[in-house]
Structure 1
């Protein structure tokens, strides 16, 4: 199967009948959607159910994606709405988007890593732990930019800030993240650099 490289190409081909290519979008964004869902519920099973619902809704409404923003921004909106609806139906307590255990639980979702993947996961957990030490605002901006691959404009739309303000906040958040990494994981950071 010849898979298109961009989201827009994949979406276009899916809309023109190549439905099996939708799996490439699911694979590309499953961790992103799952991580967001874990911010709303501490239960992995609920987050998995939400993620499935998100991808079903996204597939059914794929023709509504106009391409004004990244697919991930559009998918974030569906995920956010689906999480809130799910929690209302289940009458669960809504958890903060920035609870400390969210990234750790999300990182633990895959257990069949090879040796080099285990090392990469360990590094990612270290980074996620450092992100957890940041303020909720810093953690949110770092997550949107790096994990969600959102542009400054998209982040601004999501959190209601001017893109220039987001740029400044991102720069400061990166500095604080680097400080946390150096302060709490100095030996690990040194080993990575070697």
Structure 2
């Protein structure tokens, strides 16, 4: 199986009956899907289950993919929908970024993250932890742009905003991420720079 194939080529093969070709899609997007699910659930086991369910649902609905946008955009919508349904069923509290206590909760979560950082000095984990401290809209923008490799136009479509607005919001989200990294992970960042 050629991993250099485009998503559309792979999807065409799957729709023609080559079910094994779908493994390339799963491999290509498993980290992206898991990261989105983990962002919503804050629980590894739930995120793994939701990621698996997202790939199953995407496979079953592959005929519905029209190709108007990137496959990752379509997949993002499926994952997000499953996560929101999961949260509603679990009746977990979903916070608005307009509520002041969201920032307090993020700071409280930081204490647990610091212990994990001592044990596991992973650059990816450190960045993901810093993203988790951001308001949900900022985290979503960063995940779409960097993990999902979405263009500003695609991000605008997903979020219902203009591409220029997406660019401004992305710039601000990067600044907030830098501040969180400096505030909460200064030692780890210094270790990576000096290593």
Q: TM-score range by the shorter chain?
A: 0.7 to 0.9
2:39 touches 2:132 (CA, 8 Å); kept in 1? no
Q: How does 1:15-164 map to 2 (within 5 A)?
A: 15-88=15-88, 90-96=89-95, 100=106, 122-164=122-164
* Partner Cα separation in structure 2 for residue 8 and residue 52 of structure 1: 21
2:73 touches 2:154 (CA, 8 Å); kept in 1? yes
1:145 touches 1:155 (CA, 8 Å); kept in 2? yes
**Could you list the per-position Cα deviations for residues 48-69 of structure 1 after superposition, in whole angstroms to 9, with x for gaps in the alignment?**
2222221111111112111111
1:144 touches 1:150 (CA, 8 Å); kept in 2? yes
**Could you list the per-position Cα deviations for residues 159-185 of structure 1 after superposition, in whole angstroms to 9, with x for gaps in the alignment?**
221110111121222233234434544
RMSD: 2.9
Q: Counterpart in 2 of 1:11?
A: 11
Q: Counterpart in 2 of 1:113?
A: none
Shift in alpha-carbon separation, 1:94–1:37, aligned structure 2, 3 A: farther
**Could you list the per-position Cα deviations for residues 46-95 of structure 1 after superposition, in whole angstroms to 9, with x for gaps in the alignment?**
3322222211111111121111111111011111222233444x443254
* Partner Cα separation in structure 1 for residue 39 and residue 182 of structure 2: 26
TM-score by length of 1: 0.75
Q: Counterpart in 1 of 2:102?
A: none
TM-score by length of 2: 0.75
Structure 1 runs not aligned, ≥5 long: 109-117
Structure 2 runs not aligned, ≥5 long: 98-104
Shift in alpha-carbon separation, 1:193–1:137, aligned structure 2, 3 A: same
Q: State the SS of the aligned residue for 2:92.
A: coil
